[in-house]
Amino acid sequence: MGTDEPVVVVAHWQTTAASLDTVLAHVAALAPQSLGEPGCLGYEAFQRTDDPTALLLIEHYRDSAALQAHLSSSHYQELVGRRIRPLLTDRRVEFLRPREAQT
């Protein structure tokens, strides 16, 4: 698997009702900063309809280097590392490679 291939990150976050507004505010601040990175091709956040404290983030990066640049960025370290993660009760992250459908 080459590192020049696109990377999709799917992050499943669970928080509490008491922390939800704070987490959503941090995500709202994080999204435009992430999209401003040259290698970030997409950044979307979703809430489950049956459990608003369950969030799903889908992020698209040009390649592994762009993902590493994102993870090392000051806005990621501050917002996710210092502010969001302490408010999560569960966190699962998947790293995926897009593939064409086989017919």
pLDDT digits (tens, 9 = 90+) for 77-97: 999 999 999 999 999 999 999
pLDDT digits (tens, 9 = 90+) for 20-42: 999 999 999 999 999 999 999 99
SS3 annotation, 40-76: EEEEEEEECCCCCCEEEEEEEECCHHHHHHHHHCHHH
- Flag whether pLDDT at 57 surpasses 50: yes
Farthest CA pair distance, the chain: 47
Residue type, 103: T
Q: Which helix (DSSP H) or strand (DSSP E) does residue 12 occupy?
A: strand 7-15
Phi then psi for residue 4, to 5 deg, are -90, 5
pLDDT digits (tens, 9 = 90+) for 3-14: 689 999 999 999
- Flag whether pLDDT at 2 surpasses 70: no
CA–CA gap between residue 36 and residue 46 (Å, rounded): 20
**How high is the pLDDT of residue 9?**
98
Q: Which helix (DSSP H) or strand (DSSP E) does residue 95 occupy?
A: strand 88-96
Whole-model pTM over 0.95: no
